[in-house]
Amino acid sequence: MAALIASLSLLGLVPNLAPGRYGLRAPALRMEGGPPKMPDFKMPEGMPKLGDLREKLPKDLPVSLDELPEQSQPWVKAYSAQSKLFFYDFAGLMLFAIVGRLTHFENVLNPFADILTALPFLLGYFAAAQPLGAYADDATSDYGKMVKTLAPAWAAGTLGGVTLRAIGKFAAPPLPFVIVTFISTFVFLAGPRAVLVFQVLASTLLPPEHTAPTAPLMCLRKRASCPTSRPSRSTSTEH
């Protein structure tokens, strides 16, 4: 039987012979001339080149941040004008995220994970800080102004951060977490700002001789001869 099937397959009378059936194997197919070649990709004739597009751009495009319109860079000028205050707010929220990870015994030496933890609160706070007055000119003039200008941005920013975090985790946070988050973010935002207020008040209260080097010290720095005469003091004696 096997010999009959083999002879019929060789004559082409059994074209659908399954490989390996009855101990036989179908002959391997060979393609003449090798595999087919893929056609060469060519750009359409009417498509402009990159160099032509660059030449068609207007020459008066803005090249610096100051030349950009206000609609394309909302609140960037306000943050860049008070870069020190922006750095203190950013550092405070980053410290809040690192301390939170430490309380959960997580690895704080992973900067990517630290930034990812703080990202919802950074986005929420800086989206609300400038519109709600946290970057006003007198935001750090005294402690009362600091709390008054920070409170609306802190509340809205923390609420936005908690919301973004819940959306990212697909779960609503528990109430104790929300309460601790609001208290912690206020501490980490108000603390650095209080340092700035202290610096401002100290610079205004100290007399000029405490804010600048004294004359002998300046003479020593410049290696110059210091005056030996001292101003005379007027003393009044009563007999």
The confidence score (pLDDT) of residue 30 equals 60
Question: Residue 113 has what pLDDT?
Answer: 93
Extents of the domains making up the chain: 76-211
Dist. CA 117–CA 132, nearest whole Å? 24
Angle between helix axes 143-169 and 111-129 (nearest 10 degrees) is 120
Q: What is the pLDDT of residue 215?
A: 45
**What is the per-residue pLDDT for 212?**
47
Six-digit token string for 140:
């750090």
Radius of gyration of the chain (CA): 38
Looking at 104-206, list the stretches that DSSP marks H as alpha helix, in order from N- to C-terminal side. 111-129, 143-169, 175-205
- Would the pTM of this model clear 0.85, i.e. be above it? no
Number of helices (H) and strands (E) in the chain: give both, helices first: 9, 0
Flag residues of the chain having pLDDT under 50: 10, 13-14, 16-20, 22, 24, 72, 211-226, 229, 232, 234-239
What's the pLDDT at 76? 77
Closest CA to 193 of 127, 120, 125, 97: 125
